[in-house]
Amino acid sequence: MASVFTKIIQGDIPCYKIAEDSNFISFLDINPVKKGHALIVPKVEVDYIFDNTDETLAKMMVFAKKVALAIEKEVVCKRIGIMVVGLEVAHTHMHLIPMDVEKDLSFSNPRVKLSPEEFEDLTNRIRKHI
Ligand code: AMP
């Protein structure tokens, strides 16, 4: 069965899309640990990140850089942290999380609640910098 991220890539379910090219898509995490928390997802569905080709992994970091720099322009933070977990969604993805202190990267932190309008507004503001 297709992963939830493949369904997003295919346009079957909506997302707050920041960027897309022929190999990757980036959208805001629906349950963010920090405002501006985004995901980077390869379009080819592979569960474990290290089962991806070297080429995909290299290109993924370059794509992530573009998105991270755009997030930084709209979200006040010291830097963008990168996390890879993948225990909930079995489709490779990288978390980009605005951070000021190490603890900001903990998935045990309470999640940030944003309205659909706030998600939309944040998406549009970040997209301007892509
Ligand atoms: P993990 O697989 O543990 O790295 O976590 C999966 C992440 O995907 C979580 O942070 C979820 O909030 C996020 N997520 C799951 N479904 C969606 C969705 N439809 N749109 C955006 N983010 C999602």
Q: Is any ligand 1 atom within 6 A of the Cβ of residue 85?
A: yes
Band the pLDDT of 28: cuts 50, 70, 90: very high
Q: What is the pLDDT of residue 89?
A: 98
Q: What is the pLDDT of residues 62-94, one digit of tens each?
A: 999 999 999 999 999 999 999 999 999 999 999
- Residue 101 tokens read as 């202190």
Q: How far apart are the first and last CA of the chain?
A: 32
Number of residues in the chain: 130
Among 28, 59, 31, 66, residue whose Cα is nearest residue 43: 59
DSSP string, 62-113: HHHHHHHHHHHHHS--SEEEEE---SSSSS--EEEEEESSGGGG-TTSPPPP
Band the pLDDT of 4: cuts 50, 70, 90: very high
CA of 107 to the centre of ligand 1 (A): 11
Band the pLDDT of 104: cuts 50, 70, 90: very high
> pTM for the whole thing?
0.98
Quote the CA–CA distance of 96 and 80 in Å, as a whole number: 6
Identity at 90, one-letter amino acid code:
A
Mean per-residue pLDDT of the chain: 98
| CATH number of the domain residue 13 falls in | 3.30.428.10
Instruction: Please tell me the residue having the least CA distance from ligand 1 atom 4.
Output: 86
Q: Is any ligand 1 atom within 6 A of the Cβ of residue 4?
A: yes
Residue-range definition of the domain harbouring residue 45: 4-127
CB 95 within 8 A of CB 80: no
Mean pLDDT of 10-32: 98
Q: Is any ligand 1 atom within 6 A of the Cβ of residue 105?
A: no
Give catalytic residue positions. Answer: 93
Band the pLDDT of 46: cuts 50, 70, 90: very high
Give the burial string for 48-77 (b: 16+ CB within 10 Å, else e): ebeebeeebeebbeebbebbbebbbebbeb
Q: What is the pLDDT of residue 78?
A: 98
Angle formed at CA 28 by CA 25 and CA 31, multiple of 5 degrees: 135
Specify the number of domains making up the chain: 1
